[in-house]
Amino acid sequence: MPETRNKVECAHCCAVLPDGNTSPCPECGKKGRRISVSVAGEIDFAGHVTWEKRREFYERKPLALVTVIAITAGAPFLGLVLVGWVGVIAGLMLGAVAYWIGPLAITKVREIERGG
């Protein structure tokens, strides 16, 4: 990320003033400031190249994944075994379990390496 720097100078005698200073210039006593904004980081004086390597992949957790698949595939069959409100409640509970396990089954891993 480029870094911006504000340089505050007196508009009359070019003395460097502290950033945020609104009082008159301590050198010449006049008011009037000149602010120059410089962006550091875009020009690399040292000549070396900055680099960034990103690697994104999905890490699978086999046990959690199998559980989620089993719940997802098995939930509709609960209606065959459990009739009425028991089946509804059991289905909701399994749905909640799948909801919590789901994010664990497949985790997005992001590796960022920087150099320069």
Q: Which chain residues interact with Zn ion by CB under 5 A?
A: 10, 12-13, 15, 25, 27-28
User: What residues contact residue 60 under an 8 Å CB cut-off, 6+ apart?
Assistant: 105, 106
Please tell me the distance from the alpha carbon of residue 35 to that of residue 5, in angstroms, as a whole number: 10
Which run of H or of E encompasses 34? strand 33-40
Q: How far is the CB of 7 from Zn ion (least distance, A)?
A: 14
Shortest CB 28 distance to Zn ion, Å: 3
Task: Compare residues 10 and 68 and give the one whose CB is closer to Zn ion.
Answer: 10
Nearest distance from residue 19's CB to Zn ion, in Å?
16
C-beta of residue 107 within 8 angstroms of C-beta of residue 59? yes
Residue number with CB closer to Zn ion (21 or 50): 21
Q: How far is CA 74 from the centre of its chain?
A: 37
Residue type, 13: C
CB 13 to Zn ion: min, Å? 3
Of 11 and 82, nearer to Zn ion (C-beta) is 11
32 vs 79, which CB is nearer to Zn ion?
A: 32
